[in-house]
Chain A
Amino acid sequence: MTGHNLAERLGRGLHLAFCIVVFSFLIAPMLVVVPLSFNAEPYFTFSQGMLALDADAYSLRWYRSVIVNEEWRLALTNSLFIGLVAAALATVLGVLAALGLASPAMPGRAFVTGLLISPMITPIIISAAGMFFFYSKLGLSQTHLGLILAHAALGTPFVVITVTATLSGFDQNLARAAASLGAGPFAVFRRVQLPLIAPGVIAGGLFAFAASFDEVVTVLFLGGLEQRTIPRQMWAGIREQISPEILAVATFLVAFVLVLLGVVECLRKRGGQGPVGR
């Protein structure tokens, strides 16, 4: 009996240890950036002072230099502008696509779904190279519009997936009821369907925004100096002038993504309790 118990406990202990190792391997590189960004020295390593928890070894100088730096400010503006517009575009397109795919009259549903999801599965370098040649012909490379379109294409699958999932719990009789009560198709959508699938729409939009916000490959191909986004600027920062500024930006991004995730999680919970997930 005890031998059996011992083996079981040993197994559980090993399992736990394995999880911790994997977890730290995956997460630690991200977490280590946070204290390093407060380094008072222009290095990427912990100084003696930092390890001794000496207050003088810590500083906000890299945050200050990011804020005053024109290039970083341009990058932030670009990231927010391109991200928001691309996410809005992806949300509209994704919701429309999901609504169409949910219709029982839709032919070739699996094929069309696959096509819409493909930007998520295709290696990004292939999409980006394809876009580069195609957009250059149209005069869209090195423009904000080109990047917005590229990021909208990459973000749409997220919206299609989240909205399709929410719609699967949507009672089609509600749309029928609204129609029988005299509502036209647009009123049915705006007053009955949209409020009920809103959690999925917002979650999809946030994912689309996040996809654009941390995207670097298409920006490398399509963006010029005027279109540098934060990830692109970080790329340049590492390659050209090695400065702990990018650690400060990275910390900011981690915090930003955590907030986004929190919002998505809240929406998911509300959706689960609400009428849609019934």
Chain B
Amino acid sequence: MQSAPHVEFRGVSKTYDGRTMVVRDLDLRVQEGEFFTLLGPSGSGKTTCLMMLAGFEAPSSGEIRLSGRSVQHLPPRKRGIGVVFQNYALFPHMTVRRNLAFPLEVRGISAASRRQRIRQALEVVRLDGFEDRRPAELSGGQQQRVAIARALVFNPSLVLMDEPLGALDRRLREEMQFEIRRMQQDLGVTVVYVTHDQQEAMAMSSRVAVFHRGHIQQVAAPETLYEEPEREFVASFIGDNNMLRGHVRKAERDFCDVETPGGTVRAFPVHGCRPGDRSVLAIRPERVSLTKPGVYTNEFEAVVEDILFIGDHLRLRVNLCGNPNFIVKIQNTVGHSAVLEGDRVRIGWSVMDCRALPDEEGGSGPTPVNQQGTENRSRSAVDAGKPKTGRTNDSVLAQSHREDGV
């Protein structure tokens, strides 16, 4: 029999005002030694979960267990969890050494042992020689390392990290992603990591829980999340996906036919479906090809609205099946670069690369937006006044550029 999970949430709900649920009836299990990421846009409840796990907030209902024991009445100081805060929360009036000594001193560990542990922890984060600096005398990346060292120095078996890389620039962030992953594997600790950055989550995690409006949408390894999203939100949040909305006309075990404003598409029904259901289809831009007739089950003719040259690949925007921002990503190989704006092209994709999901979001009306993650979502809110189909090419191109490289 498997031992109890290191972290377990059982039906946990949290509300601050008694009406709005920040987290709703949440179940979650994290195994020993996992790098587990809570991923979601801001306000999705992921940080609240972390704060409840650390003991700073109490669940309104439900139970949190650590290694099988309920921690309901355990204050933060008795949980033995290392926490890395978003703004590092280093003690500004103490040197690096004193910051690291703090958790050891309150545990009554001898001075000799303290010195040794502090040295080891600083070696792990590669900051030896910085013992006598104060936090204000360190760069953001160095402060980050001190915060991690402080969370590790008392040998906790569980470390929580709340958007620890949010304040760093892009290059440093990527370096630190690698470093944190290395430390976690070297030390064998369990890490519960919170981020809104899906690339970060994909790069670091053994498993990811995708949060949306206080619910977990899907828990899976990064590859599975990307290849087999099970909910509309996951498909739109993780990487780029072209979303097509329509009604199921015919449903079989292995496929279903969905009628979209631009024609019927054959797709793989992820959860099964019945004729008449509203459905949203998710198709990755890199799984769509320019094709000759008769190659794919799903083939459509469309006019290339504009082309974005990225370098190793090109992104074509076409108006297809009711989605005016349907993106086709093609490799920059000989022949393909011959496509020009305004060309009429034939586009095709296979049934297995087209996942039919229950329509949970804005299923109303025939103007679906090409959802490419949170950027797009917030932008939609900003653009609320304008018709969504009337977006300028600039914004589409800018978006494609930003979201590139997943």
Does B384 sit at the interface, judged by CB under 8 A? Answer: no
A178 x B102 contact (CB < 8 A): yes
Per-position binary interface string of chain B over residues 4-16, scored 1 when its CB falls under 8 Å from any chain A CB and 0 otherwise? 0000000000000
Tell me if B285 counts as interface (CB < 8 A to partner A): no
Contact at A174–B103, with CB atoms within 8 Å?
no
Contact indicator per residue, chain A 166-207, by CB within 8 Å of chain B (1) or not (0): 000001011011111111100100011001100000000000
Of the candidates A174, A177, A180, A182, the one having the most CB atoms from chain B within 10 angstroms of its own CB is: A180
With A196-B92, A275-B93: A181-B87 Cβ-Cβ less than 8 Å: no
Residues from 61 to 116 in B contacting A, C-beta threshold 8 Å: 75-77, 79-83, 85-87, 89-93, 102-103, 106-107
Residues of A within 8 A of B90 (CB): 177
- Which of B80, B82, B87, B106 has the largest number of chain A CB atoms within 10 A? B106
Q: How far is the CA of A173 from the CA of B56 in the complex (A)?
A: 10
Q: Are B77 and A183 in contact (CB under 8 A)?
A: yes
- Whether A278 is near chain B, meaning CB under 8 Å from some CB there, is yes
Count A interface residues, CB 8 Å. Answer: 20
Q: Judging by beta carbons under 8 Å apart, are A179 and B150 in contact?
A: no
Write the chain A residue with the least CB distance to B54.
Answer: A180
Nearest to A184 among chain B residues (CB) is: B77
B211 at the interface (CB under 8 A from A): no
A196 CA / B82 CA spacing, docked (Å): 23
Q: Which of B56, B91, B106, B136 contacts A182 (CB 8 A)?
A: B106
Which of chain B's residues have a CB closer than 8 A to the CB of A275? 92-93, 136
Compute how far the CA of A175 lies from the CA of B103 in the bound complex, rounded to whole angstroms. 13
Q: Is A181 touching B92 in the complex (CB atoms < 8 A)? A: no
**Residues of B close to A177: CB separation below 8 A:** 83, 85, 89-91
Question: What residue in chain A is nearest B87 (Cβ atoms)?
Answer: A173
- Which of B76, B81, B136 gathers most chain A CB within 10 Å? B76
Q: Is residue B154 contacting chain A, with contact meaning CB distance below 8 A?
A: yes
Q: Is A179 a contact of B77 with CB atoms below 8 Å?
A: yes
**Contact, CB under 8 Å: A182 / B92:** no
Name which residue of chain B comes closest to A192, CB basis.
B91
A182 close to B83 (CB less than 8 A): no
Contacts A176-B56, A275-B136 given; does A182 touch B89 at CB 8 Å: no
When chains A and B are docked, how far (Å) is the Cα of A184 from the Cα of B106? 8
For A63-84 the 0/1 string (1 means CB < 8 A from B) is 0000000000000000000000
Question: Which A residues between 262 and 277 are near B, CB-CB below 8 angstroms?
Answer: 274-275
| Interface size of B as a range | 20 to 34
Q: Which residues of A contact B56 (CB under 8 A)?
A: 176, 179-180
From residue A106, how far is it (CB to closest CB) to chain B in Å?
Answer: 15
* Chain A positions 152 through 175: 1 when the CB is less than 8 Å from some CB of chain B, otherwise 0: 000000000000000000010110
Q: Are A180 and B77 in contact (CB under 8 A)?
A: yes
- Given the known interface contacts A173-B85, A173-B87, A191-B102, the answer about A180 and B76 at a Cβ–Cβ threshold of 8 Å is yes
Closest CB in chain B relative to A81 CB, distance in Å: 33
Q: Are B76 and A179 in contact (CB under 8 A)?
A: yes
Residues of B within 8 A of A180 (CB): 54-56, 76-77, 79, 81-83
B118-145 to A contact mask, C-beta < 8 Å, 1/0? 0000000000000000001000000000
Q: Are A182 and B87 also in contact (CB < 8 A) when A176-B56, A275-B93 are?
A: no
Given the known inter-chain contacts A181-B102, A182-B107, please indicate yes or no for A171 contacting B89, CB distance below 8 A.
yes
Which one of A178, A182, A274 lies within 8 Å of B80 (CB-CB)?
A182
B85 touches A182 (CB 8 A): no
| B79 contact set on A, CB distance < 8 A | 180
Residues of chain A lying within 8 A (CB to CB) of residue B86? 173
Provide the residues of chain B in CB contact with A196, threshold 8 Å: 92-93
| Cα-based distance from A199 to B358 in the complex (angstroms) | 60
CA distance A274 to B54 in the complex (A): 29
Chain B residues within an 8 Å CB radius of A178? 91, 102
Q: Contact between B136 and A176 (Cβ–Cβ < 8 Å)?
A: no
List A contacts of B76 (CB < 8 A): 176, 179-180
Chain B nearest CB: distance from A231 CB in Å? 38
Whether A187 touches B85, Cβ cut-off 8 Å, given contacts A182-B80, A275-B93, is: no
In whole angstroms, what is the CA distance A82 to B305 when docked? 85
Quote the shortest CB–CB distance from A59 to chain B (angstroms).
Answer: 50
Whether the Cβ atoms of A183 and B106 lie closer than 8 Å is yes
Q: Residues of A contacting B136 with CB < 8 Å?
A: 275
Residue of B nearest to A276 (CB): B92
Kindly identify which residue among B77, B89, B92, B103 contacts A278, using a CB–CB cutoff of 8 Å. Answer: B92
Per-position binary interface string of chain A over residues 31-66, scored 1 when its CB falls under 8 Å from any chain B CB and 0 otherwise:
000000000000000000000000000000000000
A174 CB, nearest partner CB in chain B, Å: 5
Q: Which residues of B contact A278 (CB under 8 A)?
A: 92
Contact B91 A174 (CB under 8 A): yes
Task: Report the Cα distance A54→B79, complex, angstroms.
Answer: 79
Q: Which residues of A sit under 8 angstroms from B93, Cβ to Cβ? A: 195-196, 274-275
The reply to whether B103 and A182 contact each other, CB–CB distance below 8 Å, is yes
Q: Are B150 and A181 in contact (CB under 8 A)?
A: yes
Q: Is the CB of B89 within 8 A of A174?
A: yes
Contact of B85 among A176, A184, A192 (CB under 8 A): A176
Which residue of chain A has its CB nearest to the CB of B162?
A: A173
Q: B92 contacts A187, CB within 8 Å?
A: no
Distance between Cα atoms of A274 and B134 in the complex (Å): 12
Distance of B39 from chain A, by nearest CB (Å): 22
CA distance A183 to B75 in the complex (A): 10
Q: Nearest chain A CB to B301's CB is how many angstroms away?
A: 57
Q: In the complex, what distance in Å separates the CA atom of A18 from the CA atom of B80?
A: 65
Contacts of B106 in A (CB 8 A): 181-184, 187
Provide a sorted-by-A list of 9 A–B residue pairs whose CB atoms are within 8 angstroms. A171-B89, A176-B54, A176-B76, A176-B89, A180-B56, A180-B82, A181-B154, A184-B106, A275-B93
Q: Which residues of B contact A (CB under 8 A)?
A: 54-56, 75-77, 79-83, 85-87, 89-93, 102-103, 106-107, 136, 150, 154
Q: Which chain A residues have a beta carbon within 8 Å of chain B's beta carbons?
A: 171, 173-174, 176-184, 187, 191-192, 195-196, 274-275, 278
Question: What are the 4 tightest A-B residue pairs by CB atom distance, in nearest-first order?
Answer: A275-B92, A181-B103, A177-B89, A173-B89
8 extra interface residue pairs, beta carbon distance < 8 Å, beyond A171-B87, A183-B103: A177-B85, A180-B56, A181-B150, A182-B80, A183-B102, A187-B106, A196-B93, A274-B92
